[in-house]
Amino acid sequence: QAFPVQKLYSIGPMFRHERPQKGRFRQFHQINAELFGDAGPKSDAEIILMAVYLLEDLPLGDLSLRINSLGCPECRPAFKEKLQATLQEKTDRLCVDCTKRLGFNPLRIFDCKLDSCKEVVSDAPVIVDFLCRGCNEHFHRLQEYLNDYGITYILNSKLVRGLDYYNKTTFEIQTELLGAQNAVAGGGRYDGLIKLLGGPDHAAIGFAMGMERIIALIEMSKTREEKNPDLFIAAIGDAADRASFIWAGKLRKSGLWVEWDYGSHGLKSQMKKAGRLQARKVLIVGDDEMKSGKGILRDMAGKAQMVLDLGNIVPALEDILKNG
């Protein structure tokens, strides 16, 4: 009986045994997504896209997707043998941990964060040159799916992740803001893990992202970005005030930063407030503008202004503020 495809997610606290590091605490919170029951590259692409789209909706700055293939039990042994033979001549330049890894899992040496070990493996053999036909076709088909979706990625032939049970596809979403611990999310295929733990032999792929690291990255990104409102709405009169409340809500929902005056101040006072906030643009709407159906949009840097139709004000402002 065929095992039905199952898609699961979990969000919650976890604990790690290894030494805590920057953004990696003893207790931490993690977002996980798993897809069980399909061994094809379309599932790999689906999981990767989910991770990318989740992070794209957050203010995390520049992120990059890295992908690799770790092969399978059919093609990996030949690569491990070649890698061990190559690195055996350079053990004096490896750290203590990597010297131990050389004997039982040399692929993990690629994951070492020490510059000395990175230098040793800089010209080492890479597994993509040893992939069997099935793994090679799987990896190329994954790239075709990502290309079809317009997802930008980097082929990283030394990406192995920190867990030993991965096979075929492995991936990370990385940032340049966190130093050596630069992975924001990561995952891969682990087709043999369920069987290894005593269950049936089912294919699986998934990812995990640490919430503490994401929060730290959001805070860092905030300090790097200009913290100025996209728009200040200077509304004069009750009708304009009520309309501006609706407009601001819709614009904020689209991701724009909109401010207004909370009192019943005149135009001059509101323009001063917009200046103090360093708002990019100001929408001026009073009784006359509400009657005519035309509002005035003023650029606070160049002082140029234009007239906008209030009946189509929200999409017009979205276009100007996001693309103008």
What the chain holds in terms of domains, given with CATH numbers, is 6-72+143-223 (3.30.930.10), 76-130 (no CATH), 231-323 (3.40.50.800)
Question: What is the C-alpha to C-alpha distance for residues 273 and 267, in angstroms, rounded to an integer?
Answer: 10
Name the phi and psi angles at 255, rounded to 5: 100, 5
129 CB-near residues (< 8 Å, 6+ apart): 79
pLDDT in tens, 161-217: 767 789 999 999 998 776 656 889 999 999 989 899 998 889 999 999 999 889 888
- List own/partner pairs for 297-305 with CB under 8 A and 24 or more apart: 300/274, 300/275
pLDDT in tens, 153-163: 999 999 987 67
Our CA dihedral for 46, 49, 50, 51, rounded to 10 degrees, sits at: 130
Q: Which has the closest alpha carbon to 143: 32, 38, 56, 69?
A: 69
58 CB-near residues (< 8 Å, 6+ apart): 214, 218
| Percentage of the chain lying above the pLDDT 90 cut | 59
pLDDT for 179 equals 62
Question: What is the C-alpha to C-alpha distance for residues 65 and 48, in angstroms, rounded to an integer?
Answer: 9
pLDDT for 317 equals 95
pTM, whole model, 2 decimals?
A: 0.69
Flag residues of the chain having pLDDT under 70.
1-2, 22-23, 162, 178-181, 221-227, 324
Q: How many CB atoms lie within 10 A of CB 131?
A: 22
What's the token pair of residue 220? 């860092």
Alpha-carbon Rg for the chain, nearest whole angstrom, is 27
pLDDT for 226 equals 56
Q: How many CB atoms lie within 10 A of CB 305?
A: 13
Element spanning 250, H or E: helix 238-253
pLDDT for 183 equals 86
Our CA dihedral for 231, 236, 241, 246, rounded to 10 degrees, sits at: -40
Element spanning 285, H or E: strand 281-285
Q: What is residue 28's three-state secondary structure? A: strand
